Structure 1
Amino acid sequence: MLRVHDWDRAWRTLPLGVLGAVTLIAVADPSAPPYERAVTFATAAAVAVWHWWMVLAHPGWPERAPVPMAVYFAGFLALAWVLSSRHPAYTLLVVAGFPTAFATLPGRHAYLGVAATALVVVGGPAALLDAEDPWPIASALAGGTLAAFIGWSIRTLEGEVGRRRAANQALEDANRELEGANLRLARLGEENAELQGRLLAAARQTGVAGERGRLAREIHDTVAQGLAGIVTQLEAAEEAASDAEAVRRRLAVARNLARESLTEVRRSLDGLRPGPLADSRLPEALSALVSDWSAAHELPAALTVTGTARLLHPEVEVTVYRAVQEALANVARHAQARKAGVTLSYMEDVLVADIRDDGVGFTPSGTGGEDSGAGGFGLTAMRQRVVRLAGSLEVESAPGQGTAVSVTVPAVSAEAGREAT
C-alpha cells in the first residue's frame, strides 16, 4: 500500500518520465536533421538536470520553499515551451506542468503555476490576444480550471489523509502511553503489595514491642515494687529481731504487700484497672496509696487535691496512679527523706500530679540516684506511660535539695473514652 510520501515522489518524478518518452519520439523522428535532433536532446537533458537538481535532489524544497520553487517552475515552463516549439511531442511535457505545479509549488502558488501552464499550452499571450480565434482562450480557461480542480481535489484528499494519519498517530501514542501507564500501575501495585507486607511485618513487630513494654511496665509496677517493699520489711524485721512486736508488724506488712502484689499481677494479666481504681475514684485510690506507703515506711506523707475532681478516662487515671506509685517507691528506696507530699491538680484540660520529697536528691542528667532502682527502669517506664498519652514528665532535683517529679497528662473524660470504644 502506497503512502502519501510515495505518491508525492511519484508525482515529482512524473515530468522526467514524460520527458524521456517524448524525447525518444522527437529524437527518433527522421524528418528532423541530425543537428536539430542533437540540440533537442541537449535541451531535454538540461530540463532533466534542472528538474533533478531543484526537485529530486532537494526533497525539502517542494511545497515548502516558495522562492526556489518559483524559479524552478519558471525555468521548467520556459524550457518546456522551447522544446514544444522544436517538436510538437513536447506539448505533453508542457501539459505535465499542471500536476507539477501542485507537486512543487506551495499553497496558493500552485494555482498561479496552473495559470502559467495554461498560458503556455495555448501558445502564449499572443494567442489570447487573437480575437478572431476564441479557441485558445476557451482552451486555456477549460484546461486551467480542470487542472485546478483536480489539483485542489488531490490536495484536499492529501490533507484528509494527513489529518487521519495524525489522528491515528495520536491514537497510537495515546495507546502506548496507556500501556506504559498500565505497566507503571502494575509495578506500583507490586510495590504497594510489597510495602504493605513490610508494613504488616513492622506493625507486628511494633505490636510485639509494645506488648513487651506494657508487660514490663506492669511487672515493674506490681511484682518489682511489691518484692522491693517485702525485702524492705524483711530487712527491717531482721534489724528489729529483739523486738517481737516490731517483727510481727513488719511481717504483717510484708504479707499484705505480697497479697496485694499477687492481686495486681492477676489484674494486669487480665488487662484490668489497678485494684485500688477498680472500686474507687482516683483521689480516694491515691489517698489510700499515700497512707499505706506512709505507714509501711514510717514516713510522713500527705495527699492534696486541687480543682474539681471528676471521673477521667481509665488510661489517664491508671497512668497517674502508676506514676505516683513509682515516685513514692523511688523515695522509699533512694531518697532517705524525712517526709514526702503528693499534689493532684484537676485543671480544665490537663491533670497534674506532683510528688516531692526532702531527701538527698541527685543530678537528673547523671546516673544512679532515684532512677537507679529496679535496674534503672523506674523513671523510664513512668515516662513511657506518660508519653503514650501525649503527656510530659519533668524531674527537678539537686544533691542535698530533694526531688520533685511532675506528671502532666491530658484530662480526657470518661465519656470520651466510652465514645471512642
Structure 2
Amino acid sequence: MLTVRWWDAAAIAVASVTVLITLREPPYGSGEWGTWAAAAAFLVLYAVYARRFVATGEPAAPMGHYVMIAVSFAAIVAVGAFFEPGVAILQAFVYPFLWATAPAIAAAIASNVLVAAGMAVGYALHFGDPFSGVPIATLSVVFSIALGLWITRIAEYGEERGRLLAELQAAQGQLAAMHRDAGVVDERARLAREIHDTIAQSLTGLVMVAQRAGNRLAPVDGEAADAARGDVELIEQMARDALTEARGLVASLAPISADGGLGDALRRLGSSFERETGVQVTVTSDAAALSREHEVVLLRAAQEGLANVRKHAQASHAEVTVALAPVGDEVVLSVRDDGVGPGSTVPGERGFGLAGLRDRAALVGGSFAVEPGAGGGTVLRVTVPSARPDAHDDTVDTTDRADNAAGAAGATE
C-alpha cells in the first residue's frame, strides 16, 4: 500500500507542476485550457484505470491493458506538448510507471519509444518544426531505457538472490532435520545397548541364581522348604518374564538398516525376530509408492506388531504384509499371527505401544486397527496414503518422527 501512495503522490506532483507552469503568465487562453485538460486527463487515466495495476501488487499488467495505458499516456503527452511544451514534465512519471507495470522488457522499451514519439509530435505541432522535439525526445527515451534496463537487472539479481536464499534456508532446515533424526537413532541405539548390557544381564544373572537356589533346596524336606522352593520358582519366573520384556524392548529400540528399501528392512526385521523367538515370520512387500515418512511409519508399525506377538500372542507363526489397498490410493501394512487373539484389549488401555502407533499413523493421515483374525489370532492393520517416493531418498530413515506421540516403542499393548 505504501508503494501505491508513492505513485499517487508522484502523479499529483507532476500534474500540479504542469498546471503551475501555465499559471506563470496570465491572461489565460486556449493554450492554458488545453494544458489543464491534458493534466486532468492524465490524472483521470491514472486514478480510474492505470492505478489498479500497481495497487493489486501483481508483477505486471496484462498485455492488452498495458497497451491501452501506453497509447493513452502517449496521446496525452502529445496533446499536452502541442498546447504547452512544459507538459514534457509528465515523462518523469510516465516512463517509470510503464517500466514498473510492463509484462516484458520489450513491451517496456516499445511503450517508452511510443511516449517519446508522442512528445516529438506534440513539439513539432506546437513549433511548426518537425525536428524541434526530436533531440529532447531522443535524450529522454534513451535515458529512460538505460535506467530501466539497469534497474530491471538489479531487480532480477535481487530475485535470484532471494530464490537462492530460500533454497539455502530449505537445505539448512533439511540438514537440521537429518541431524535430529540421526540423534534420535543414535539415542535409540544407546538405550538398547544400555538395557542389554545392564538390565538384561542382571535379569539373566537373577534367573541363574534362582535356578541355583532351587537346586540347593531340592533335597531339603519340610513345609518351610516347600514354601521356599515355591518362592524361588516364582522369583525365577518373574525374572524370566522381565528378561523377555527387556529383550523385546531392546529389539524395538535397535535401529534397523534399510538400505534396500522397506521390503528388505521388513525381511531383516522378520529374520531377526524369528532367530530370537523361534516364531516363524513370513514377509510380503508389494508397495513402492511411499514417501520416506510413510515408510518410517510402516516400519515402526511392523516392529510394534511383532513386539506384541512376542509378548502376548503365544503364536508359532506371524505374517507381515505390505500391499496397495484394493480401493483408494492407500497402502496397508498387516501383522497377523496364529496366537490367542487380542481378547478385549483396547489400544492404550495398559500401555503406550499401540496407542502411540495409532497416533503415529494419524500424524501422516493414516489409520490403525487391531482386530481378531478370521481363523484366530490377531491382525494389526495400519493404513497410510500412498505417495511418490522422494527421488533424493536412497534409504529408508528408520528414525521415528513421531516419538513424542508414540511413547515407548517397546511398551506393552
TM-score (norm 1): 0.43
When the two structures are superposed, what TM-score results if normalisation uses the length of structure 2?
A: 0.43
Higher relative contact order (CA 8 A, sep 6+): 2
- Report the structure, 1 or 2, having the larger helix content: 1
Pick the structure with greater CA Rg: 1
